[in-house]
Chain A
């Protein structure tokens, strides 16, 4: 469904990507893990059109979408829940959801909003609240709900559990699980490697702008060198 081939991106302050390739099949939940600064966010930003790659290609449903404008990519069915959520704090919860559905017909938009509210009851209770007043967990649910409003074929999530207390993070992982059961295709960037690997089908591990390990979740989770890859070698004997 989504094919990324030898993608290289340079971007001012965020680390670059070097020759990155990955794929996500329809209905799959794939996770992308790795240390801070490895380029995970840059990769998602490049796929969703916020950054332009220097070389390489992104194909979505066999169509070349490299360097398309973000709104065009969204219209083709690829949505991103950005890092730090970036919900519209001055807009109400209701309006945030409506903006999420800006690309679909108005009738479908209202229908879908009801579905989202069923999925996230807490949003339903706070429809007329300004989103800036939501708690972290609620805001994350809104960010995901808002992205789902475009009926994406694939949903990209950038650190959905970032900044959430463990209990609330757990809610997010439950949610990912639920989306997976609904058949939603997902590509999730997450710090909490163990937890996300329990939910995902496959995983990629990034470090310094490249993918260094990939494989099935079960396989990755049991690899001893995962922690080392993650934050560098801790072997102190050869210092």
Chain B
């Protein structure tokens, strides 16, 4: 029983990170109908920023806000440089564009930093454990869950209560109708990218605290997990993205703790297979988003 609770907390910690990434992907999908495969690059950029700032002698307390800020700005810059040219293009073009960005950014890091992974120190408290009601938890998991919740609450507050958030949701549902109400498309898309970038930044901070390294492909796995989580949840559904992320994290932890020693390395493979099965039975994900096509 205790073990199960530990695992759930562990799973929520993992899932929280996925949820943040998935939410960022869902926000962009909503306004642009684009699955942003370049979303992982924000994490790569964050990783290198963290590494660079460490080199410059900063400590984690300053690095965290800086990384989040940088991720948000990078996201907006990427939109400005690349995505705005393919707004409204066929889905194939947009998918391929986001992949192109992924490759270019990755190559830039190889070219100007290094093809190898760079290590930086992880904050020492992340390995500490605390005992609550006789069960020991990793402080890190609890911190992740707490800050993820905080970020999610903040994000949903923005989406529910601010004019920007309401306009963004309106634009996600019917872009033209939103423009007819006076919503500025440039601003809303840029805002969506900024929001998505900040979410990726927060996720990156946790991801990096755990991995403690920066490399050109650092964003690949989190991106894939985030896309899958968004897809499991139902593309375009913000709540679904969070749900999908948490579910993915829980399943992973459950698998890791139950698989025999020799197969732990195949966890990701098994998770992908499970997801493939899920798609066969429910291709639209947990929450289906209505998008009427007039015939």
> Hey, which bits of chain A sit against chain B, CB under 8 A?
48-50, 69-71, 74-75, 79-80, 82, 86-91, 95-96, 98-100, 102-103, 106, 146-147, 149-150
Contacts and interface: CB of A to CB of B under 8 A. Distances in A.
Nearest to B187: A71
B180 A48 contact: yes
B84 to A, nearest CB: 14
B182 A88 contact: no
Contacts of A86: 174, 176-177, 180
A17 B173 CA distance: 29
B161 to A, nearest CB: 10
28 contacts: A49-B179, A50-B179, A69-B179, A70-B179, A70-B180, A71-B179, A74-B179, A74-B182, A75-B182, A79-B180, A82-B176, A82-B177, A86-B176, A86-B180, A87-B177, A88-B173, A88-B178, A89-B173, A89-B290, A91-B170, A99-B170, A100-B181, A103-B181, A106-B163, A147-B181, A149-B181, A150-B181, A150-B182
Interface in B162-189: 163, 166-167, 169-170, 173-174, 176-185
Interface residues of B, number: 18
A165 B180 CA distance: 27
A95 B176 CA distance: 17
A99 B173 CA distance: 12
Contact of B176 (A50, A75, A90): A50
B174 A99 contact: no
A88 B184 contact: no
A103 B170 contact: no
Given A91-B169, A91-B170, A99-B170, A74 B176 contact: no
- Per CB-CB distance, the 5 closest pairs between chain A and chain B, nearest first, are A103-B182, A74-B182, A86-B177, A70-B179, A99-B170
Nearest to B174: A86
Contacts, number: 72
A179 to B, nearest CB: 18
Contacts of B169: 88, 90-91, 95
A80 B167 CA distance: 17
B219 to A, nearest CB: 30
Contacts of A91: 166, 169-170, 173
Contacts of B163: 98, 102, 106
A146 B181 CA distance: 8
B2 to A, nearest CB: 41
Contact of A71 (B170, B174, B184): B184
Contacts of B185: 69, 71
Contacts of B177: 82, 86-88
Interface in B157-215: 163, 166-167, 169-170, 173-174, 176-185
A125 B166 CA distance: 20
A71 B183 CA distance: 6
Contacts of A71: 179-185
A91 B290 CA distance: 13
A141 to B, nearest CB: 16
B179 A88 contact: no
Contact of B181 (A49, A50, A89, A102): A102
B195 to A, nearest CB: 17
Given A69-B179, A88-B173, 9 more contacts: A71-B179, A71-B180, A74-B182, A86-B180, A88-B177, A89-B290, A98-B166, A106-B163, A150-B182
A102 B180 contact: no
A74 B183 CA distance: 9
A201 B163 CA distance: 37
A17 to B, nearest CB: 19
A49 B170 CA distance: 19
A82 B166 contact: no
Given A98-B163, A106-B163, A80 B180 contact: yes
Nearest to A13: B294
A51 B167 CA distance: 22
A102 B181 CA distance: 7
Contact of A99 (B167, B176, B184, B290): B167
A147 B177 CA distance: 10
